[in-house]
Structure 1
């Protein structure tokens, strides 16, 4: 299996875990333990899943502040739990996984939104993540192509 499908599945499982945390307010070890108990295939969660979840857990406050600044007229807790989990994970990946290009991150989380969130959610998520990437100065987007800024 190539790294892309492994990471895609890792993101999906991380989204399920962070969603569960957003709904049930469990800590991360309990959430991951419950996931392992629910499905024999999840006895050994992919390292990428655990790393993403740990990044959200470790940087939850910073991620919340970042997203609140982008959401402007919304409070993060008003965003539906699935969309909130997707945004939290994407923000963590953009900020704390520098080896993954932000455009790849956005594309992958939009696919999760299409699969798990209401029809209008991908547009909402795309707008927020594009603003995050531009705010961070990580990339310029021109004519659908990504141009890396010097020094980034």
Structure 2
């Protein structure tokens, strides 16, 4: 089981749906076909849980993000950062097996890897306000 990789894949799939309005099963199948080595060691159930949970609670998650922005509007947040924030806030609120500090740290790591240089500080600030 590799939760970090599962989180990363869930983030990529959520981002893809935001951009292209695709469905999870098709996206995951395509991902699996192109990245077999990566997918072999991950926990598909956890990816599905994150994907479905974030998708079902997107309005709640966005309201929590908006409440914790300082001098920002949610529509100014890049789609990558918005996806990372949604995922982190979902884990903090609904994944009891994930400690808050872990969810925040993982979000910062995703931002370091997939966003710009300012993103980790921004993500950390929003999540610090949230908790």
Other-structure match for 2:34: 38
Partner of 2:22, secondary structure, is coil
Distance 2:24 2:76 in 1: 22
Could you tell which deviates more after superposition, 71-80 or 48-57? 71-80
Select which of 11, 17, 21 maps to 1:21. Answer: 17
TM-score (norm 1): 0.75
Distance 1:56 1:28 in 2: 12
The two structures, once aligned, show a CA RMSD in angstroms of 2.0
Alignment of 1:74-113 (within 5 A): 74-113=72-111
Quick check: which has more Rg, 1 or 2? 1
More strand by share: 1
Other-structure match for 1:115: 113
Matched, 1:48 2:46: yes
1:131–1:57 Cα change, 3 Å: same
Other-structure match for 2:3: 7
Distance 1:18 1:93 in 2: 14
Distance 2:41 2:88 in 1: 23
Deviation for aligned residue 1:44: 8.9
